[in-house]
């Protein structure tokens, strides 16, 4: 087979109204155009790379840079890109043209090869993987466009609109739908909400920060660049939301939920204080404006302006002068860590307390007495806030994903889980062909989950499984906390993802001392909730202290766990689950013509007959067990089970949920 002659034309000019000379701006140590050229040159399928620029003297610098990097240059009309490209092909003949814009510094040679391979397998006039649209899930700026030489020349002769001649994609989009093909992104690069092209100054600042923080280079893969981008976004949100004094109910919870809205468009609900939810009552809102301890000379030793953890959540107000001995029972330190301020709550107790590290405790003991202790807090009959996003899929069956929002100034527990869940919601929402419906909630721990269950009682009783997302950002190893039914397939999915990625992890059995899985899994609901954690609660020394901070947790660590959760969702989307249309007893197989199809024949290399397999599939297809689990139980290949399921669907005996 003759090798395809694929010419890459890099379109560039210095004139840009929004960001002049952007192709010559430096990204790290190198100009943007050099990034583009070097990364394009890594393609194994391109025959030649040529810079297509203008004849303007201002673009001489682009010409000189390209020549210095060893590639040819074609110079043509500034605004008539269609004529410029056609002219280039007359000088550099080709079968197909791959178009790359010089404002895409992370264009990938590998993704160009994917594009060319897609054309070779499915030849139509125009292929693309450089931008997201309804048919393409690639990030903006990762790939390229490909069109045949014949199409280019026809467009050059037929297109008269100046805008279309300048903006080649507009001209190509006039081709019929059957002549255009969007390349399907593999799951590891299907992030259509990420943007890597360079339009305005803020794009340049973001890309510069991305290169510097992640040490990106010409060889970085799109997967690595995506991970770096997610990490940078998470880091920004960590720093923005970390210091808020979240509790059960109050303004800082609302600020946290509102702070997620640029990631996922949450709907925020309010449950009035005093509302009865099962055996509980929604508490009042708590607000604290001051909290400090001073010595007799007004030297401030402890202050919530340094850390919200210095005052136990839901502390009653106080203003008193007293000796250390008289108030020592209200002052708490960490049992083990000298530098840590412990996290304490007084949610359902009318009291007050300060939390200090060991050094501050010594200062308080030796300070000039009396100490002045002030907690300026108030309780108001307001409401408890929670956030929700329901992402509707093809099936009305739902997957629950939950994170809790009530912990102040601690990064792993629970802000890491909140941010990962928001990012995961955005990612799921970008999958326009999702099978499952996802119910994603952000609630205060315990009381929030209980309230959500009460408010959505009937809907929640229909959910079989879900993910409790918490403590996902530590520097250590992974843990899987299994659902209350350890045999549930969701536990296997999490273990499988970790095994495939060669991650060390520990299995934690379900117990009642965890997070909100104990609410969702309670007897009235029995939702199997599984957690994939990175330094799960209780297991790391900094847990529930001020040392669970931004030195312990960072965006890169959360992004690593996020990638695993994305793979978990991919596996959930692959599940095929069937249910009996008439689930009452064993069906009369001869009435459905099944004896005539199979008789008593055995499956190849197995001792189970086809008829027994049919009966087993009918027995196990309860709307809860996926075909993969049925295959594992029966010790047969998955394709055998799926073949039987499709047959039973055709007989109107099964339906896929």
CATH classification of the domain holding 622: 1.10.10.10
Q: Is residue 427 part of a domain?
A: yes
Angle at the Cα of 320 from the Cα atoms of 362 and 406, rounded to 5 degrees: 75
pLDDT in the model for residue 656: 93
Instruction: Let me know whether 557 and 445 are in one domain.
Output: yes
Instruction: Let me know whether 585 and 555 are in one domain.
Output: no
Paired sense of beta strands 383-391 and 300-303, if any: unpaired
Q: Where are the beta strands (DSSP E) in 20-167?
A: 26-27, 30-31, 48-54, 72-76, 96-101, 126-128, 145-148
Final residue in a domain of this structure, among 544, 574, 604: 574
Question: Do residues 79 and 11 touch, judged by C-beta distance below 8 A?
Answer: no
Instruction: Let me know whether 551 and 581 are in one domain.
Output: no
Instruction: Let me know whether 415 and 493 are in one domain.
Output: yes
CB within 8 Å of 607: residues ≥ 6 apart? none
Instruction: Let me know whether 34 and 64 are in one domain.
Output: yes
pLDDT in the model for residue 603: 56
Question: Positive or negative CA dihedral for 377, 383, 389, 395?
Answer: positive
pLDDT in the model for residue 304: 98
Instruction: Let me know whether 362 and 433 are in one domain.
Output: no
Strand order in 505-508's β-sheet? 267-272, 383-391, 437-443, 398-404, 465-468, 528-534, 478-481, 505-508
- Helix or strand or coil: residue 45? coil
pLDDT in the model for residue 88: 95
Q: Is residue 336 part of a domain?
A: yes
pLDDT in the model for residue 436: 97
Q: Is residue 230 part of a domain?
A: no
pLDDT less than 50: residues of the chain:
none
Question: Omega before 414 cis (within 30°)?
Answer: yes
Q: Residue 422 belongs to a domain with what CATH number?
A: 3.40.630.10
Q: Is residue 235 part of a domain?
A: no
The structure tokens listed for 433 are 């062909």
**DSSP annotation of 413:** I
- Residue 272: which region, alpha, beta or left (left: phi > 0; alpha: psi -120 to 50)? beta
Q: Residue 317 belongs to a domain with what CATH number?
A: 3.50.30.90
Instruction: Let me know whether 92 and 159 are in one domain.
Output: yes
Q: Is residue 246 part of a domain?
A: no
Final residue in a domain of this structure, among 380, 410, 437: 380
Instruction: Let me know whether 314 and 358 are in one domain.
Output: yes
Distance between CA atoms of residues 166 and 76, nearest Å: 12
250 CB burial (10 A radius; 0-12, 13-18, 19+): buried
Question: Positive or negative CA dihedral for 258, 261, 265, 266?
Answer: negative
pLDDT in the model for residue 284: 98
Instruction: Let me know whether 570 and 606 are in one domain.
Output: no
Total number of domains in the chain: 4
Final residue in a domain of this structure, among 348, 380, 412: 380
- Residue 555: which region, alpha, beta or left (left: phi > 0; alpha: psi -120 to 50)? alpha
pLDDT in the model for residue 159: 87
The structure tokens listed for 580 are 């009996």
User: What is the residue range of 373's domain?
Assistant: 285-380
Instruction: Let me know whether 26 and 126 are in one domain.
Output: yes
Distance between CA atoms of residues 79 and 84, nearest Å: 9
Tokens 């067990």 found at:
625
Q: Is residue 232 part of a domain?
A: no
Instruction: Let me know whether 315 and 390 are in one domain.
Output: no
Stated as kind and residue range, the H or E segment containing 226 is helix 222-241
Whole-angstrom Cα Rg for the chain:
30
Q: Residue 187 belongs to a domain with what CATH number?
A: 3.90.550.10
Q: Is residue 240 part of a domain?
A: no
Q: Is residue 229 part of a domain?
A: no
Instruction: Let me know whether 112 and 259 are in one domain.
Output: no
């Amino acid at each position: 087979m003759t090798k395809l002659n694929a010419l890459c034309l890099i379109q560039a000019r210095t004139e840009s109204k929004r960001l002049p000379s952007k192709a010559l701006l430096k990204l790290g140590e190198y100009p943007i155009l050099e990034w583009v050229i070097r990364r394009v040159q890594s393609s194994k399928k391109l025959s030649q790379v040529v810079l297509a620029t203008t004849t303007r003297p201002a673009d001489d610098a682009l010409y000189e840079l390209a020549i210095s990097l060893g590639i040819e240059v074609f110079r043509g009309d500034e605004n008539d890109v269609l004529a410029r490209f056609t002219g280039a092909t007359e000088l550099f003949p080709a079968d197909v043209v791959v178009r790359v814009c010089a404002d895409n510094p992370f264009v990938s040679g590998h993704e160009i090869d994917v594009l060319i391979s897609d054309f070779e397998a499915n030849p139509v006039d125009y292929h693309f993987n450089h931008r997201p649209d309804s048919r393409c899930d690639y990030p903006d700026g990762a790939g390229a466009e490909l069109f045949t030489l014949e199409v280019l020349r026809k467009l050059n002769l037929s297109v008269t609109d100046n805008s279309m001649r300048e903006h080649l994609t507009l001209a190509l989009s006039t081709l019929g739908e059957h002549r255009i093909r969007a390349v399907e992104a593999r799951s590891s690069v299907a992030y259509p909400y990420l943007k890597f092209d360079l339009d305005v100054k803020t794009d340049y600042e973001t890309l510069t920060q991305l290169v510097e923080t992640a040490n990106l280079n010409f060889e970085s893969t799109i997967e690595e660049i995506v991970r770096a981008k997610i990490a940078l976004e998470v880091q920004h949100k960590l720093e923005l939301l970390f210091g808020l004094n979240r509790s059960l109910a109050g303004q800082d919870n609302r600020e946290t939920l509102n702070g997620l809205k640029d990631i996922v468009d949450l709907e925020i609900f309010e449950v009035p204080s005093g509302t009865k939810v099962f055996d509980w009552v929604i508490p009042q809102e708590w607000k604290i404006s001051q909290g400090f301890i001073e010595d007799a000379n007004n030297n401030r030793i402890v202050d919530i302006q340094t850390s919200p953890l210095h005052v136990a959540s839901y502390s009653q107000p106080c203003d008193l002068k007293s000796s250390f001995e008289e108030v020592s029972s209200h002052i708490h330190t960490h049992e083990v860590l000298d530098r840590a301020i412990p996290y304490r709550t007084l949610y359902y107790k009318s009291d007050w307390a300060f939390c200090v590290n060991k050094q501050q405790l010594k200062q308080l003991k030796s300070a000039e007495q009396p100490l002045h202790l002030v907690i300026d807090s108030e309780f108001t009959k307001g409401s408890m806030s929670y956030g929700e996003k329901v992402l509707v899929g093809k099936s009305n069956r739902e997957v629950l994903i939950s994170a809790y929002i009530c912990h102040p100034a601690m990064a792993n527990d629970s802000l890491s889980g909140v941010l990962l869940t928001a990012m995961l919601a955005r990612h799921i929402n970008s999958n326009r062909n999702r099978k499952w419906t996802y119910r994603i909630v952000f609630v205060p721990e315990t009381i929030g989950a209980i309230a959500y269950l009460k408010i959505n009682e009937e809907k929640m009783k229909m959910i079989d499984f879900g993910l409790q997302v918490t403590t996902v950002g530590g520097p250590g190893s992974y843990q899987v906390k299994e659902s209350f039914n350890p045999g549930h397939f969701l536990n296997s999915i999490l273990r499988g993802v970790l095994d495939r990625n060669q991650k060390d992890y520990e299995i934690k059995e379900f117990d009642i001392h965890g997070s909100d899985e104990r609410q969702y899994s309670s007897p009235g609901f029995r939702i199997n909730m599984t957690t994939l954690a990175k330094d799960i609660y209780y297991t790391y020394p900094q847990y529930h202290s001020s040392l669970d901070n931004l030195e312990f947790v960072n965006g890169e660590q959360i992004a690593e766990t996020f990638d695993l959760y994305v793979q978990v969702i991919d596996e959930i989307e692959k599940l095929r689950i069937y249910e009996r249309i008439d689930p009452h007893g064993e069906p009369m197989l001869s009435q459905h013509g099944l004896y005539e199809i199979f008789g008593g024949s055995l499956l190849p290399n197995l001792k189970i007959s086809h008829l027994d397999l049919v009966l087993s599939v009918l027995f196990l297809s309860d709307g809860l067990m996926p075909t993969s689990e049925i295959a594992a139980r029966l010790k047969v290949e998955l394709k055998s089970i799926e073949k039987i399921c499709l047959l039973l669907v055709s007989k109107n005996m099964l339906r896929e949920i």
